[in-house]
Amino acid sequence: MAKVYAVGVGPGDPELLTRKAERILRQADVILAPVSRPGEASVALETVRGLLDESRQEIIHHQFPMTSDTNRLIPAWQGAAARIAGCVAKGKDVAFITIGDPLLYSTFIYLLRIFRESFPEVDLEVIPGISSINTSSAVACFPLAEADERIAIIPATAGMEKVIEALTHYDTVVLLKVKPLFSEILAVLRQMDREHSTLFVERVGSVRQKVLTDFTEIACHLPDYLSLMIVKRSPF
């Protein structure tokens, strides 16, 4: 029976794929790669392209607009789910690839809800992936949490009030999607005396990886969309 696999391909380094992810990607009939704009390269697809046999496997690029407008997003989610379900109905295994992990701030979460509601007959399996959070911590040897420390993960797009709340109440705060509020975040970190306990990582796991711990260098940098910060209460 054909199946849908949500495959986490990690942060961008092919060597960080799990053995199970590699096996599924090699055997799937269809690979669906999300993109935000037509003609845009898919980070997830470029990560795994070396494993694929494009003479045998069908590769589909499906657009998910980079917007918060649900009037545009919902049709894109529904279209992707219907497209995948159609492939499964033809007896084809489909691998939906996503950077990081499929169930941590991933587009696949929205598709999962649609599958449950509209295509309950579709068999699903999630293959976890290594997140950019864990990879960033590893490349910088920057511990996320120890003993009884508490950790929070906050998309900076949630707003500065949420960011400040997390920094106030948690020992370690991971800030995702920092680009839109970068200057505001820097100002708050200065006010809270966190300059010496902040890690900035951009495009982790790729050839464009940048790791910064010096706050002056962080403040001078223009962040990429795929950037995060890890902030501890005190220096490590």
This prediction's pTM: 0.91
- 141-194 pLDDT tens trace: 999 999 999 999 999 889 999 999 999 999 999 999 999 999 999 999 999 999
Read off the pLDDT of residues 109-133 as tens digits, 9 standing for 90 and up: 999 999 999 999 999 999 999 999 9
For residue 69, what pLDDT is reported?
82
Q: Which domain holds residue 37?
A: 4-127
**Residues 62-82: tens digit of each pLDDT:** 988 887 888 899 999 999 999
Q: Do 158 and 87 fall within a single domain?
A: no
CA distance 207 to 121: 41
- Whether the per-residue pLDDT at 97 is higher than 80: the answer is yes
CA proximity to 174, closest of 102, 105, 97: 105
Mean pLDDT to the nearest integer, 87-108? 97
Are residues 201 and 141 in contact, defined by beta-carbon separation less than 8 angstroms?
A: no
Give yes or no: residues 90 and 168 share one domain.
Answer: no
Tell which of 89, 105, 127 closes a domain. 127
Could you give the CA distance from residue 35 to residue 38 in angstroms, rounded to a whole number? 7
Q: Give how many domains the chain has, as a whole number.
A: 2
CATH number of the structural domain spanning residue 58: 3.40.1010.10
The pLDDT-based confidence of 37 (bands split at 50, 70, 90) is confident
pLDDT score for 70? 85
CATH number at residue 228: 3.30.950.10
Cβ-contact 10, 38 below 8 angstroms:
no
Alpha carbon distance 130, 109 (integer Å) = 16
Task: Quote the pLDDT of residue 68.
Answer: 81
